[in-house]
Amino acid sequence: MFQKILIANRGEIALRVIRACREMGIQSVAVHSTADADAMHVRMADEAICIGPPPGTESYLNMAAIIAACEVTGAQAIHPGYGFLSENANFVQIVEDHGLTFIGPTAEHIRVMGDKITAKDTMKALGVPCVPGSDGGVADLDAALKIGEEFGYPVIIKATAGGGGKGMKVANNATEMKSAFQTARAEGKANFGNDEVYIEKYLTTPRHIEIQVFGDGKGNAVHLGERDCSLQRRHQKVFEEAPGPCISAEERAQIGKVCADAVAKINYIGAGTIEFLYENGEFYFIEMNTRLQVEHPVTEAIFGVDLVREQIRVAEGLPMSFTQEDLEINGHAIEVRINAERLPKFSPCPGRISHYHAPGGLGVRMDSALYDGYSIPPYYDSLIGKLIVHGRDRTEALARLNRALGELIVDGIDTTVPLFHALLGEDDIHSGNYNIHWLERWLETNL
């Protein structure tokens, strides 16, 4: 059993992991950059160790410093959170080579799913339905034009190494293909050091539905239903919910089983998310994330389980604490991502928090590393908090979200809170009538 876990992350997700450790009687070690010396995760952990200067590349991505921090503190395992090193197969290998445990999947699973072409091939072979498109990589513009012709425009050109919405370009016709193909390749090269691209049919009215899966690494796996993350800006999620407002119990059981069987077959260990686009009653796989997702709390809320605790358990070689039959949906949960950003342009807005008050009461969870007087450093992601509400049904969850947003105070900086107040005034949000393009269109006329 682990006595001490090091958390290779910062912000709300570092607190999330520290909380699970504390409930399990495990000591926690925070690592931090010099810019984060006053951060909440440093204060809350049992021990803290500075691993470098402010830029992420020199601190939270500094593998040698993180391994050294484990050696100095005697931590036996590393929880990577999300982002940073969470999906870095080389890091996992290095962790294991040092006799430490990485709390997450194997290097091999991360490598396979981190390359979108390989991931799609693997999922297809495992019986998971995929978006129609090119068979693997597309070498040049001529080949790309042929695919466009074959599948019909619009198509989307995607960098195989892409992530975070980067390296994706839509082409509506053959003329647009030229620049879209080149831009996707260039973005892949610039952001991920890999210019290989593939092409898919561009679905025009899908919802983003993702299935939470969990494996024990020994051939057993379960699914924890879906999350609907269709409200997106620039392919980035801003509002997530579970269960999906348009997914039936039969559809959930069917696609859930396909996903659980697929990850069981590859002996997947830990938490994973299989992302789909959902259109006209059909699911189309787009990618798998081999880590805890930002939006995992909505799943925790409706199933009443602690996913971080489960990650730690299976990393220790213990079985999962639930079976598929144990997992029953209770009510409805919604998460909104609160970013330090100034509307309407969503420009980053770091600065000092003069006053912070978190909402509370029945069915409200605020995951945030903010506190009165905290200065948000300008070096990292703009996510400063996640407000998660849980109700007996979607209507109650929305009313609770409205109430909780009203209680939240973040003074001193601009945040995305006004966006959610405005969205709650929209009929489509209440009826659940939206797809992945709804928010972009709404923003054009409403902000």
Q: Which is nearer to ligand ADP, 102 or 198 (CB)?
A: 198
CB of 202 to ligand ADP, least distance (A): 4
CB of 40 to ligand ADP, least distance (A): 27
CB of 132 to ligand ADP, least distance (A): 9
CB of 374 to ligand ADP, least distance (A): 29
Q: Which is nearer to ligand ADP, 261 or 275 (CB)?
A: 275
Q: Which is nearer to ligand ADP, 168 or 238 (CB)?
A: 168
CB of 187 to ligand ADP, least distance (A): 10
Question: Considering only residues 151-180, where is the footprint of ligand ADP by CB under 6 A?
Answer: 156, 162-165, 168
- Does position 300 interact with ligand ADP (CB under 6 A)? The reply is no
User: Which residue bears the tokens 């959170």?
Assistant: 81
CB of 283 to ligand ADP, least distance (A): 12
What's the rounded Cα separation, in Å, for the pair 125 and 78? 32
Q: Which is nearer to ligand ADP, 26 or 156 (CB)?
A: 156
The only residue of 14, 131, 138, 389 in contact with ligand ADP, by rule CB under 6 A: 131
Amino acid at 114: G
- Does position 378 interact with ligand ADP (CB under 6 A)? The reply is no
- Does position 235 interact with ligand ADP (CB under 6 A)? The reply is yes
- How far CA 38 is from CA of 34, 43, 67, 371, in Å, comes to 9, 7, 22, 10
Q: Which is nearer to ligand ADP, 202 or 239 (CB)?
A: 202
Question: Considering only residues 187-226, where is the footprint of ligand ADP by CB under 6 A?
Answer: 200, 202-203, 206, 208
The only residue of 26, 277, 315, 423 in contact with ligand ADP, by rule CB under 6 A: 277
The only residue of 106, 160, 232, 293 in contact with ligand ADP, by rule CB under 6 A: 232
Question: Considering only residues 383-442, where is the footprint of ligand ADP by CB under 6 A?
Answer: 436
CB of 366 to ligand ADP, least distance (A): 25
| Per-residue binding letters, 72-101, with ligand ADP (x by CB under 6 A) | ------------------------------
What's the rounded Cα separation, in Å, for the pair 319 and 221? 10
Which bin fits 434, alpha (ψ -120 to 50), beta or left (φ > 0)?
A: beta
Q: Which is nearer to ligand ADP, 207 or 390 (CB)?
A: 207
Q: Which is nearer to ligand ADP, 51 or 259 (CB)?
A: 259
Q: Quick check: is 291 catalytic? A: yes
CB of 230 to ligand ADP, least distance (A): 8
Q: Which is nearer to ligand ADP, 14 or 156 (CB)?
A: 156
Q: Which of 10, 16, 111, 291 is catalytic?
A: 291
Cite the active site residues.
291
Q: Can you give the binding site for ligand ADP, defined by CB under 6 A?
A: 131, 156, 162-165, 168, 200, 202-203, 206, 208, 232, 235, 275, 277, 286-287, 436
